[in-house]
Amino acid sequence: MSLIIGMAGKGGTGKTTLAGLAVRYLAKVGKVPILAVDADSNANLADVLGMTYDRTLSEAREEMKSSVGNVSITKDTLIEMRTQEAIVEGDDFDLVVMGQPEGSGCYCAANSILAAVLDKTLKNYPYQVIDNEAGMEHISRLTARYMDIFYVVSDASRRGFTAAVRIWRLVEELGITIKRKYLILNRTRGEVPQEVQDIIKEENMTLAGVIPDDSSIYDTDQAGKPTSFLTEASPAVAKANQIFKETLFE
């Protein structure tokens, strides 16, 4: 069984923390091996997972694009080598960081080769969790042409929810193939405002769940510790795991 999970949302809504918790949940229930993909140019998934990385795929692409006249190795071989070097191996899951967007010049050839190599690499992982950007720029980064499950993450703020609605609509406009799409309201305090409930209904959004604001997430992050290591003693983690249990394998 293959399962590709995508996360998107406005910055600051807790999207990356939820991506890390999804990786941890999959590992907990024995759904391995997992590849965690950080497709956000503001890469933070490694911190959430307690990992470090030395190379990104964008660096591999830049190197391939600039390699001229080297007859000792083909560009295909070079980028395959660099892609493997960019994958950080863990016990139950591995991590790859996409890195910064394209620079100046034409990246068509580099992107085509990287897409082919990445497609082949992804086939080694039956479970993938992709932490995307709110603006959906990851489409050009070759990581989200198809997803089984897509979580749009919002907090209780008006701007956060507005961004979530925009992403929800944008996915359909871009023609991405998605089997199931859910909204997660994160970091909420009290009841969900009626205005938000009305928009959810009008937009025909499927609400997967509401995660309470949890100071332990903030405190752990401020202490420089991986937030995905928190246990279900954290109300937010307990609720997130419940959402994953009810939506990932329905």
Helix (H, G, I), strand (E, B) or coil at 217: helix
Is the CB of residue 58 less than 8 Å from the CB of residue 97? no
Residues 164/152, Cβ–Cβ less than 8 Å:
yes
| φ, ψ for residue 41, nearest 5 deg | -60, -25
Q: Give me the amino acid identity at 101.
A: P
Contact 187, 155 (CB under 8 A): yes
Asked if residues 225 and 217 have their Cβ atoms less than 8 Å apart, the reply is no
Q: How far apart are CA 133 and CA 10, in angstroms?
A: 8
Nearest-Å Rg of the Cα atoms of the chain is 18
Contact 9, 15 (CB under 8 A): yes
Q: Are 181 and 152 in contact (CB under 8 A)?
A: yes
Using alpha carbons, select from 86, 84, 91 the residue that is nearest to residue 23: 91
The whole domain housing 10 covers 3-247
| 38 neighbors 95 (Cβ within 8 angstroms) | yes
**Residue 110: its H or E element:** helix 108-122
Report the domain count for the chain.
1
Would you give per-residue pLDDT tens digits along the chain (250 residues)? 689 999 998 888 999 999 999 999 999 999 999 999 888 878 899 999 999 999 888 887 777 767 655 556 677 787 788 888 889 999 899 999 888 766 555 445 555 666 677 778 888 899 999 998 765 555 445 455 688 999 999 988 888 899 899 889 888 777 778 999 999 999 999 889 899 999 999 999 999 999 999 999 999 999 999 999 999 999 999 999 999 999 999 7
What is the pLDDT at residue 233? 96
Q: Which residues contact 181 (CB under 8 A, 6 or more apart)?
A: 149, 150, 152, 168, 171, 206
The Cα-based distances of 241 to 23, 137, 215 in angstroms read 11, 28, 17
227: domain CATH number is 3.40.50.300
**Which residue(s) pair with 223 in the sheet?**
none
